[in-house]
Chain A
Amino acid sequence: MSAGDFILQTKDVAAGYGGGDIISNVSVDVESGKIFTVIGPNGSGKSTFIKVLAGLLRPRVGGITIGDEQIAKLSAPERVAKGVAYVPQEYNVFANLTINENLRLSTEFLKRNRQATDEQRSRVLEMFPEVGSRLTLKAGYLSGGQRQMLAFACAMMAAPVVLLLDEPSAGLAPKFVSEIFDRIKAVNETGLTVVMIEQNVKEALRIADNVMVLVNGSPRLFVPAAEIGSHDLHKLFLG
């Protein structure tokens, strides 16, 4: 596989809060149009890794590229402009803004032309019909599952090239979990690359193409999702 097939790459990334590193030597190659899932035990650094990709935490060392462009030193808003969209695990919508305002805000500072924005909005509302049916409602009144859908829709409004998802099933009622993963797969089938971290390993592996197992802040295993069954995850997780 050539470097041109990879839309997102990290090279020897190390990052953390305060003095110490939570993740170190993380080098990944994410194939364009695929779902790349990061799994690992609690405290393994999954959330730190995805925050580094989103630009909410700067890597102490290492490089991050989107296509051929180095983005490691860019801020979160600058990365959005480069095509990186991120859906946080919680507090992922603006509760005091209406659904419509949440959607509008996702593109208003991206310097996109109006026609392209309107077309993308139509595509997004088609993809997430439940979002478009009550645009004037404040997002704070939505249930957890509905908020997650709105958060996806907002991320999609920016017409990203890579969608980063931080535990999309966290805190959701069991009946919503499969629906969320089906929706992620549907979004991915439009050609969008997805990088997802997830605690619900079974559901995550159902839709993933490639998997990285992260343990104690370092990659322990890279494998196509179809082959993960041949590895003992319990042993990998526990070291």
Chain B
Amino acid sequence: MIAQYVLNGFVSGMILALPAIGLTLVYGILKFPNFAFGAMMTAGAYIALILNVNFGLSLLWSAALAAVIFAMIAVVIDQTVFRQLRDRDSITLLVCSMGVSFVLENIARFIFGNAARSFDLVIARPKYILGLKVNNEQIITAIIALAAMAAVYFILRHTALGRAMRAVADNPALAAVRGVRRENIICWTWVIAGSLTAIAGVLAGMDRAIDPMLGWNYIVSTFAAAILGGLGNPVGAVIGALAVGIVEETSTLIIPPNYRQAMSFLVIALLLLMRPQGLLGVATIKK
């Protein structure tokens, strides 16, 4: 029975991992926690919903197109909102991202209303693997999330863009005198973060009903995942997301499911007490 909860938690963690990577990438390069990622997930889910339900595309194609479309929207948001405040402190940008979140959420509410909607999915019987019940949505979630994570890992480790992103996150002034244009890197960071959160929105929409508050359900857990892994560290974000997913899911063995997000708060609190820099973060001394 516990194994079933661990499996479910692992899949939930996969959904959390994508926005957690996006959050941590934006934090690493722009040095602010982007509170808008929840609303970005919602927007991604609605874009895929239109493509899937109104245009009749398969969910896979809908997710891929939603990722591309929302990547462009994320760049537009950056250029029109965050770029104007580029050199402001992180609190200003955090508050600004809250504003972006409310705007996106209310655009969704204005267009689609408050009613819950769902993707046009074929209902399939769950499979049993090693005695564990695995439904079709969980398999799709795991495959898409793993593919997205592998793509991000490849970009960060094996491409010029990835090296430049890590360099800008490490030392923007040095990156500039090595010929790296920070604005270009910021633009690509939003492309990656935007597409990851949009895909996460689609996966979340498979797991629960799509409504304007969809992304809010993931905000605390995603922050917990990113902080647990060490803000700014994408690999840490994945490990943190899987850990939070499993802890939240298994906690429902002893506490009511409605309170499972409280476990995320507990994880953050314990971690900040014992290892403030996160699991894979590097401790720094502020002079």
- A binding-site residues for B, Cβ under 8 Å: 54-56, 75-77, 80-81, 85-86, 88, 91-97, 101, 104-110, 154, 158
CA gap between A92 and B179 in the complex, in Å:
14
Residue contact B177 to A54, C-beta cutoff 8 Å: yes
Q: Which residue of B160, B164, B166, B179 has the most chain A CB atoms within 10 A of its CB atom?
A: B179
Q: Are A56 and B173 neighbours in the complex by a CB distance under 8 Å?
A: yes
Q: Which residues of B contact A76 (CB under 8 A)?
A: 173, 176-177
Interface residues of B: mostly helix, strand, loop or mixed?
helix
Chain B 137-165 residues near chain A, CB threshold 8 A: 160, 163-164
Choice from B171, B179, B181 contacting A94 with Cβ under 8 Å: B171
B53 at the interface (CB under 8 A from A): no
Chain B residues packing against A (C-beta within 8 Å): 160, 163-164, 166-167, 170-171, 173-181
A106 near B166 (CB under 8 angstroms)?
no
Task: State the CA gap A91–B171 with chains docked (Å).
Answer: 8
Are A77 and B181 in contact (CB-based, < 8 A)? yes
> Beyond A94-B167, A94-B171, A97-B167, is A109–B176 a contact (Cβ under 8 Å)?
no
Q: How far is the CA of A17 from the CA of B245 in the complex (A)?
A: 47
25 pairs from A and B in contact (CB 8 Å cutoff) = A55-B177, A56-B177, A76-B176, A77-B176, A77-B181, A80-B179, A85-B177, A86-B177, A88-B173, A92-B174, A94-B170, A94-B171, A94-B175, A96-B166, A96-B170, A97-B163, A97-B166, A97-B167, A101-B166, A105-B160, A105-B175, A105-B180, A106-B178, A108-B164, A109-B164
Contacting residues, chain A, for B175 (C-beta < 8 A): 94, 105
Q: Which residues of chain B come closer than 8 Å to A110, judged between CB atoms?
A: 179
CB distance from B80 to the nearest CB of A (A): 22
A-B contact count (CB 8 A): 70
Cβ of A106 and Cβ of B179 under 8 Å apart?
yes
| Residue among B163, B175, B178 with max Cβ neighbours from chain A (10 Å) | B178
Instruction: Other than A56-B177, A77-B176, A106-B178, give 10 A-B pairs with Cβ distance below 8 A.
Output: A54-B177, A77-B177, A77-B181, A88-B174, A96-B170, A97-B163, A101-B163, A105-B178, A105-B180, A107-B179
In the bound complex, CA of A108 to CA of B175 (Å)? 11
Residue of A86, A94, A154 with most chain B CB atoms under a 10 A cut-off = A94
Q: Name which residue of chain A comes closest to B157, CB basis.
A: A101
Q: Which residues of chain B are within 8 angstroms of A158 by Cβ–Cβ distance?
A: 178-179
> CA–CA, A96 to B170, complex, Å?
7
Please state if B160 and A75 are interface contacts (CB–CB under 8 Å): no
- Expressed in whole angstroms, the Cα–Cα distance for A55 and B179 within the complex equals 11
In the complex, what's the smallest C-beta–C-beta distance from A82 to chain B, in angstroms?
Answer: 11
Residue of chain A at shortest CB distance from B159 = A108
B166: which A residues are within 8 A, CB to CB? 94, 96-97, 101
Complex formed: what's the CA distance from A60 to B266 in Å? 52
With a cutoff of 8 Å between Cβ atoms, the chain A residues found around residue B177 in the complex are 54-56, 76-77, 80, 85-86, 88
Of B163, B164, B166, most buried by chain A (CB within 10 Å of CB) is: B163
Does A105 lie within 8 Å of B167, measured CB to CB?
A: yes
